[in-house]
Structure 1
């Protein structure tokens, strides 16, 4: 169980994430025994990432201040061989988001891109009708495109959906399960990206570790949705993370 292993490791994860999900992401990491730090001050991030076990860059609520911090922290992490995860939230929604995503991918080496199908399409340059920061609709072979992006950027790509896909461009896994309520509460995908960053602190095969995180997160969704109450679902996600990471 990947969440159990993360609890045993207790990694420090530096999150440069969006303002909508900061609290939920921090609490989610705490629930699995990780230590979150949420600094996005350009004068602070290089020192902060230097003591972290992983870095999350999430572009959900972009501004010049946070974008500068993303590049500074990402390059510093690369220089120190600290793993970096990209969550390109709404990458295809606007010209600015697409430019920032493209530049991040050019200048920073990512160990993982965790996205939905619409964000994958934006990165790959495939025609897609994105709906703001939601996945939207379109036609493409998601597995094939994910493998091409993984090869092109020499990274792992994880695509969330009804069935999750994770690939390093050569090997791939399909992870089934979960519950649709995960798509109706803000921050669940962003939290998953942060947990994936924590998974890179674990020993073993990184692709398999990310696969195992996705599988555990599907179990979290299933456990949290038992009462099917949307208002309390976010709380139940935290409860399920805490329970599963403790082997309960």
Structure 2
């Protein structure tokens, strides 16, 4: 999503206008005032101005062709990105954490992460110190890109920690490669997009996650963490849902 530099266009147009004016002036002298003696230097200058003027005209024409192409490309990309985000923002289960054992100062759990269609993406077992777990998700808000408000959020699981283990020392749930796969998982199930386009858009999202400047320049309103947590009193199962409103909720189920 590139932006054409308006200042560059103005400079090119101004330069072309000045060169055209000079060329017209000398042409006027040569045609309507032949009695005036014009040195050979001015004939050379006239030819030079004509060549430079043609060159700048071609440059401006190419620049405007690029501008039109880029504008159309941005519009099509925006439509595709809306479809991508709409697919990933559907209400669904993102994760399930099962507390299978616990004591006064630690607990064992199984964490399952799910793809777009509810298929199991990753399953891992962990043992942590503490009596309360925290499951952190990264939420990307696309309101600035899409202008209209709504369920314009994508969320993915980030870190598992506890009341005894700080976030910075927590367990990272997805590696870089796993995150790329997670963002494009079930690419053949996306509505309105083919698999190749889904992978391309997921790479764009990954760049937004990895680079804050890139994210801001491309209309991502915010990238924030949202940690859901629960005190451990018994063996339990907790499911995390992405809601249609774009928020996250956690529901406890019987073990």
TM surpasses 0.5: no
Normalised TM-score (structure 2): 0.21
Question: Which structure shows the higher strand fraction?
Answer: 2
Question: Which structure shows the higher helix fraction?
Answer: 1
Instruction: Select the structure of larger CA radius of gyration.
Output: 2
Normalised TM-score (structure 1): 0.22
